[in-house]
Amino acid sequence: MFKTLTLAIPIFLLSTLSVQADNDGYVFDNGESVVHDGSGGCVYTSFWDPQDAIAGCDAVVSEAKSEPIEFAAVEPATPQPPITRQVTLDAKTHFDFDKATLKPAGREALDSIIASLGNVNQLLEISIAGHADRIGDASYNRQLALERAMTVRDYLSQRGSVDPNLLKVVSMGEDDPLVSCEGLRGQPLIDCLEPNRRAEVTIKATEVE
């Protein structure tokens, strides 16, 4: 809003004030500076027009005549590469023999995995692969390996509140053994094949920045 101001100017001061020919919207003094009133506002004449506005006398004009602000381009954030960690639960320590039931050590191991998930930024997937040894029927071993993997999946989902859609289960049966133990029989063979009886938990996630 423009101010309309009437000044009572003594006659002896009129000679010191003037209106510039190229800008008759303001009253100027002999030093060619715009005259200001008692509150610091510029003194306008009746000829004032918005196009006559001077920076410093009108907030709108000062804003319009200011140099445009240049913003630096912001590079898009580089996505974090996912990290992969694997935890192996051996059957002897973490499961009952020839069963898919977790031992206390197995629950402790899974609790540690759940605690570690607090250190990731985004959990992408947890895959659980069940493995068995080659002793006995292949279909039986495949089923036992699957049940152990499913036990791990259920524990992580229920106790760790992990989204079930992020949990992938696979039974490897007696495939992908770690040891072969050729030439052994009986208990020595059972003991030797122990590393093959396991569940592998693979966590894929992005780490906390």
CA distance 165 to 17: 83
pLDDT at 34: 77
E strands of 76-136, at which residues? 83-90, 120-131
| Domain 83-207: which CATH number of 3.40.50.300, 3.40.50.850, 3.30.1330.60, 3.30.70.260 | 3.30.1330.60
**Whole-number Å distance between alpha carbons of 101 and 97:** 9
Tens digit of pLDDT at every position of the chain (209 positions): 444 444 444 444 444 455 555 567 777 777 677 777 776 678 777 777 777 777 777 644 444 445 665 667 777 767 778 889 999 999 889 987 788 999 999 999 999 999 999 888 899 999 999 999 999 899 999 999 999 999 999 999 999 889 999 999 999 999 999 999 999 999 999 999 999 999 999 999 997 65
Place of tokens 């009886």: 197
> Nearest 10 degrees: CA dihedral of 47, 51, 55, 59?
90
CA distance 166 to 204: 10
Count of alpha carbons within 13 angstroms of residue 10, beta-carbon side? 3
The pLDDT value recorded for residue 32 is: 73
What pLDDT sits at residue 67? 61
Beta strands in the chain (DSSP E): 17-20, 23-29, 83-90, 120-131, 167-173, 198-207
* Domain boundaries of the chain, sorted by first residue: 11-63, 83-207
| Whether pTM exceeds 0.75 | no
**Residue 146, number of CB atoms within 10 A of its CB:** 20
- What are the start-end ranges of the E strands in 42-104? 83-90
Residue 147: both structure tokens together: 């049940």
